[in-house]
Every structure is written in C-alpha cells, then in structure tokens.
A and B are shown apart, each in its own frame.
Chain A
C-alpha cells in the first residue's frame, strides 16, 4: 500500500497538520514504508475473530452523580495562551 500526495494532503488536513508542498513526497514515502510493515497483518486469517479493543475484560464502572469539582478557572487559565473575561480566545469562528 503506498500513499499518494493527495492522500497525505487529505489526512494532514484531517489531523490539522501543515505539510508543505515540498515535504509531501518525503512524507508519503515515509508513511508508505510504515504501511508496508503494517501490511504483514494481511498474512493472518482473522475471519470470525472478535476485535479486541481492550486488554482486560471489564465493564464500565459508573460514577455517582455528584458535583465534586470546584471552580478552578483562574488556575486553569493561567496556563492558557489567550483569554479574556474568562473566555478562551480563538480566531473568529465563522458560521
């Protein structure tokens, strides 16, 4: 399985990573090499095998519906790149 430049552009956009025009071939090559390694999986017959999402066979534990958190806005926003009036600021979102 080898990736085209357009594949790289597509997944880079989905992942919100900037890949320069000049890097596209190199990245496509790198990723294709990894996909070759990954292609070893095709040697396994997995028909009827249940996918294992998790190493332990446990069920989700449920938390009581209690408010346990206090307001830590000042603490949390002291490490934020840009805030004003308690809000996180980002470039204008167009809707």
Chain B
C-alpha cells in the first residue's frame, strides 16, 4: 500500500513545474560548468556550492509547499481504507524519490558524460551526488516535520527558513566564534568535532578532503582526515548523518500518526 501511494505521489510530483525547473536548472548549470570551465576541480567546486546552498533550500521549500498544497488530498487519502503509516511513508518516498531523481538527472547525468574523460574524478562526483541526495532527504524530513507540526503554512515556512539559515550560516558562524575565542587552545579538534555534527559541513568537508584544496586547510585537514579515519570518527560521521536523516522524519511520522486532519 505504501508503495502504491508513493507511486501516485511521485507521479504528481514529477509533473509539477517546480521539479521540472529544478532539474532543468541543475542540468543547465552542470552543462555550463562542464563546458566553460576547464579544470575539473573548479567544476566540482562550483557544483559543490550548488549542492550546499541550493539543494537544501529547494528541497525544503518545495516539500513544504507541496505538503501544504495537498493537505486536503492527504485528508481524502486517509478516508480510504489505508493505514496512516502507509500514507506517511508514501508521501515521504513520493517526494524524496523525485528530488533524488532530479539530482541524478540534473547533476549525475552530465557528470557521467564528462567524467568518462576524467575517470579519476568519478568517486568524487559520485560522492557529491550522494551528498546532494542525502541533504535533500534531510531537508525533506525537516519539511515533513514542520508541515505536520504547524497548521499555518507561513509559520512552517518561516521556521523552515530559520532552520536552513541556522545550518547553512549560523552554525559555521558558531564554529568560527569558537575558533576565535578558544584560539589559545588546540581548537582544530573542537572545530573538526563540531563540523561533524552539521550535515552541510560534513558533506562539504568530505568532498573537499578528496580534492587538492584540502592542502590549504593544513593542520585542520590532517586532523579531519585522522578523525574520519579513526573508528570514533567514522562512527560519529555515520551516526550524525543517520540522526539528521532519521530524526526529523521520525518526528514527522509520530506527529502524522497522532494528527487531527
């Protein structure tokens, strides 16, 4: 049943002009980068910016808007002989699938063509697309949570934007503040530890560590690599990302189960 609902939602999402523009936007920019920039590292850095800035924001706003626009339909679906659980996970997959798909098409596809000539960059490209998909799932989870926690769509949107800004800018501001205030101590470890807790920082650093620019981070890069390579670091990274993907979505699922429509 979940699968059935997922398919119907996905069918509707895939027809929306939003997802079309989102995909076209990525496709156009990717192709432009691949065409006009010569160096692979520059292309990948530009794409990384898109992944860090655009993917979370679009995933969040699109998901929120879609969920609020389809409130009455969700209600109607619930009057059919289906369990709430199925409807929730149907929506989760029905939105998340197309979001992932548009990244795969918009960024992954041009990358496949381009990287055929630069095979050594293939793992990095794959890492970037995977990071983008992960971030879009995280922000879909946040959107689901907010959509079923707030009745007012503007409130949900406002809180969503706040969360986005917090993760995108404020959190890094916090890291910077810690670095400056605690500069008398070996802050690299603290900074690296903090960066593991924010999915945007983690994805960015995981990508950068595979690139030449890691050398510009000097000792910090060494600390990051060492921590990532250690059992603790791997566990922390995987755990942190898991929590970000699972926790908001799980919260949303609990709220959906108890919600009055």
Partners in one complex: no
Which A residues form the contact surface with B (CB < 8 A)? Answer: none
